[in-house]
Structure 1
Amino acid sequence: MTAKATKPRKGTVKVPRPRTPHQSPVSGEAEFRRWTPEEVVEKQLLPYRSARMVREKCYRRELFCHRDGGRITFTAEDLRLNNELGAQTPFASPAA
């Protein structure tokens, strides 16, 4: 039998680290929810007015989506990524 290289410390207590909260505003079961293009348009989760336009953009791979079994669905992460696609950064004026 071989000895351990270090001996365990006596009297130390392992304190669990506090968990950082999830950065997503969506929490719980909504993180696992899937939305159809019709629901996305109805709830105005993306800036499109028809489900057909959403589907066509997904077919052309212009939007993040899932194609599970040939059906287009969106997760909360997909919606976040799609909203970042349309974000514009403010113009920085040149320093004087």
Structure 2
Amino acid sequence: MTAKATAAPPTTQNRTQDELDDLIRYTPDEVIANRWLPYKSARVLKEKCYRREVIHHNDGGRISFTAEDIRRENERTAVLPAAA
């Protein structure tokens, strides 16, 4: 056997919870249901994705979001306070 064949498969035991959360992909329906992004419906969110106005993944033609995508989109749309 080669060294490659005898190596143990990678496990998720050494990963932090944040790293595991970033592997989960959410559908537009889940994002809207949990109110993670400020859009009225999943259809509106999908249309914005089609026009490439929202940070997302296009996995095999299906729109999905990671926790990092949602964080980045919230940062991008944040309104900063005016300087005093």
TM-score normalised by structure 2 residue count = 0.75
Structure in which a larger fraction of residues adopt helix? 2
The two structures, once aligned, show a CA RMSD in angstroms of: 1.6
CA distance in 2, matches of 1:83, 1:28: 19
Question: SS of 1:55's equivalent?
Answer: helix
Residue segments in structure 1 that go unaligned for 5+ positions in a row: 1-21
CA distance in 2, matches of 1:85, 1:30: 21
Q: Give 1 or 2 for the bigger CA radius of gyration.
A: 1
Residues 8-87 of structure 1: matches in 2 within 5 Å?
27-87=18-78
Number of residues of Structure 1 aligned to a counterpart in Structure 2: 69
RCO (CA 8 Å, sep 6+): is it higher in 1 or 2? 2
Displaced runs of 4+ in structure 1, greater than 3 A? Answer: none
TM-score normalised by structure 1 residue count = 0.66
How many percent identity over aligned positions?
51
Cα deviation 1:11-37 (Å, max 9, x = unaligned): xxxxxxxxxxx8xxx725212100000
Of stretches 79-88 and 52-61 in structure 1, the one that deviates more from structure 2 is 79-88
